[in-house]
Chain A
Amino acid sequence: MRLANSLRELLRYPSAVAGMIIILVLAAISIYAPIAIPYDKAIELWRGSEQTWYRNPKYASPEWINYFRSEKLAKSIALSTAEGTATKEIVTDDKGSSTITMTFPFEYTANVFPQEMILYFKADYKEKKPYVSATWLTPDGREIRLGDFSVDKSQSLWFSQDPKIKLRLGGLDAQEGLFVDNPRAETRNLLNGQYMVKVVAITFEPDTDLDVEFVLHGQVAGWAGTDHLRRDLGIALLWGTPVALAFGLVASLLTTFAHMAIAAAGVWFGGWLDELIQRITEIFLVLPFLPILIMIGTFYSRSIIVIFGAVILLSLFGGSIKSLRATFLQIKEAPYIEAARAYGAGNGRIIFLYIIPRLIPLLVPALVAAIPGYVFLEASLAVLGLGDPVLPTWGKVINDASANGALYKGLYYWVLQPSIFLMIAGLAFAMLGFSLDRIFNPRLRGI
Chain B
Amino acid sequence: MIYENKPNLTNMTQQRESLLSIKNLRVWFELRRWGFGLAGHVRAVDNVSFELGRGEAIAVVGESGCGKSSLMKTLLGLYKPTSGDITFEGKNLKDFDSEGMRSYHARVGYVQQDPFGALAPFLSVERILEEPLIIGGVKSKEERLQRIKKVMQEVKLMPFEDFLGKFPHMLSGGQQQRVVIARAMIMEPRFLVADEPVSMLDASVRVEILKLLRGLQTTHNLSVIYITHDLSTVSYFSERIFVMYAGQIIEKAKVRDLLDDAKHPYTVALLNGTSEPDANNAKTFKEVPPGEPPSLVKPPAGCRFHPRCAHMIAGTCDIKEPEEYEPTPGHFVHCWLYDKKQ
Chain A residues close to B by CB (< 8 Å)? 275, 334-336, 338-346, 349, 354, 357-358
Q: Smallest Cβ distance from B128 to chain A, in angstroms?
A: 9
- List B contacts of A338 (CB < 8 A): 73, 78, 110, 112, 118
Docked pose: A295 CA to B102 CA in angstroms: 53
Q: Is A358 within 8 A of B117, CB to CB?
A: no
Residue of B76, B105, B117 near A334 (CB, 8 A) is B117
Q: Is A354 within 8 A of B120, CB to CB?
A: yes
Smallest CB-CB separation from A275: which chain B residue? Answer: B35
Interface of A is mostly: helix
- List B contacts of A340 (CB < 8 A): 120, 131
How many residue pairs link A and B with beta carbons under 8 A? The number is: 57
Smallest CB-CB separation from B101: which chain A residue? Answer: A344
Q: Is B112 within 8 A of A343, CB to CB?
A: no
Q: Is B122 within 8 A of A339, CB to CB?
A: no
> In the complex, which residues 66-120 of chain B have their Cβ closer than 8 Å to any Cβ of chain A?
73, 76-78, 101-102, 105-106, 108, 110, 112-114, 117-120
Q: Is B76 within 8 A of A342, CB to CB?
A: yes
Docked pose: A359 CA to B73 CA in angstroms: 27
- List A contacts of B180 (CB < 8 A): 339
- List A contacts of B117 (CB < 8 A): 334-336
Q: Is B183 within 8 A of A343, CB to CB?
A: yes
Q: Is B122 within 8 A of A357, CB to CB?
A: yes
Docked pose: A89 CA to B105 CA in angstroms: 95
Residue of A336, A349, A357 near B118 (CB, 8 A) is A336
Q: Is B187 within 8 A of A339, CB to CB?
A: no
Docked pose: A196 CA to B110 CA in angstroms: 95
Given contacts A338-B73, A344-B101, 5 further A-B contacts (CB under 8 A): A338-B112, A340-B131, A342-B78, A343-B132, A345-B135
- List B contacts of A344 (CB < 8 A): 101-102, 105-106, 132, 135-136
Smallest CB-CB separation from A336: which chain B residue? Answer: B120
- List B contacts of A343 (CB < 8 A): 105-106, 110, 131-132, 135-136, 183, 187
Q: Is A349 within 8 A of B105, CB to CB?
A: no
- List A contacts of B121 (CB < 8 A): 336, 358
Q: Smallest Cβ distance from A357 to chain B, in angstroms?
A: 5
- List A contacts of B110 (CB < 8 A): 338-339, 342-343
Q: Is B132 within 8 A of A335, CB to CB?
A: no
- List A contacts of B136 (CB < 8 A): 343-344
- List A contacts of B106 (CB < 8 A): 343-344
Identify the 6 closest CB pairs spanning chains A and B, nearest first: A344-B105, A335-B117, A342-B110, A343-B132, A335-B118, A336-B120
> In the complex, which residues 27-51 of chain B have their Cβ closer than 8 Å to any Cβ of chain A?
35
Q: Smallest Cβ distance from B187 to chain A, in angstroms?
A: 7
> In the complex, which residues 289-315 of chain B have their Cβ closer than 8 Å to any Cβ of chain A?
none
- List B contacts of A342 (CB < 8 A): 76-78, 105, 108, 110
Docked pose: A171 CA to B156 CA in angstroms: 107
Known contacts: A342-B76, A343-B132. The answer to whether A335 contacts B35 by CB under 8 A is no
- List A contacts of B112 (CB < 8 A): 335, 338-339
Docked pose: A234 CA to B119 CA in angstroms: 56
Q: Smallest Cβ distance from A342 to chain B, in angstroms?
A: 4
Q: Is B78 within 8 A of A341, CB to CB?
A: yes
- List A contacts of B132 (CB < 8 A): 343-344
Docked pose: A354 CA to B120 CA in angstroms: 7
Smallest CB-CB separation from B106: which chain A residue? Answer: A344
- List A contacts of B113 (CB < 8 A): 335
Q: Smallest Cβ distance from A389 to chain B, in angstroms?
A: 47
Smallest CB-CB separation from B108: which chain A residue? Answer: A342
Q: Smallest Cβ distance from B52 to chain A, in angstroms?
A: 17
- List B contacts of A354 (CB < 8 A): 120
Q: Is B108 within 8 A of A349, CB to CB?
A: no
Docked pose: A346 CA to B135 CA in angstroms: 8
| 15 sampled A-B residue pairs with Cβ under 8 A | A335-B118, A336-B118, A338-B73, A338-B118, A339-B112, A339-B180, A340-B131, A342-B76, A343-B105, A343-B132, A344-B101, A344-B102, A344-B106, A344-B135, A345-B135
Q: Is B119 within 8 A of A345, CB to CB?
A: no
Q: Is A358 within 8 A of B122, CB to CB?
A: yes
Smallest CB-CB separation from A339: which chain B residue? Answer: B118
Smallest CB-CB separation from B117: which chain A residue? Answer: A335
- List B contacts of A349 (CB < 8 A): 135
Smallest CB-CB separation from B122: which chain A residue? Answer: A357
Residue among B78, B102, B110, B187 with max Cβ neighbours from chain A (10 Å): B110
Docked pose: A340 CA to B76 CA in angstroms: 11
Residue among A275, A334, A336, A349 with max Cβ neighbours from chain B (10 Å): A336
Docked pose: A345 CA to B180 CA in angstroms: 16
- List A contacts of B135 (CB < 8 A): 343-346, 349
Docked pose: A275 CA to B183 CA in angstroms: 35
Docked pose: A64 CA to B180 CA in angstroms: 68
Docked pose: A344 CA to B184 CA in angstroms: 12
Q: Smallest Cβ distance from A274 to chain B, in angstroms?
A: 10
- List A contacts of B122 (CB < 8 A): 357-358
Docked pose: A219 CA to B252 CA in angstroms: 100
Docked pose: A118 CA to B136 CA in angstroms: 84
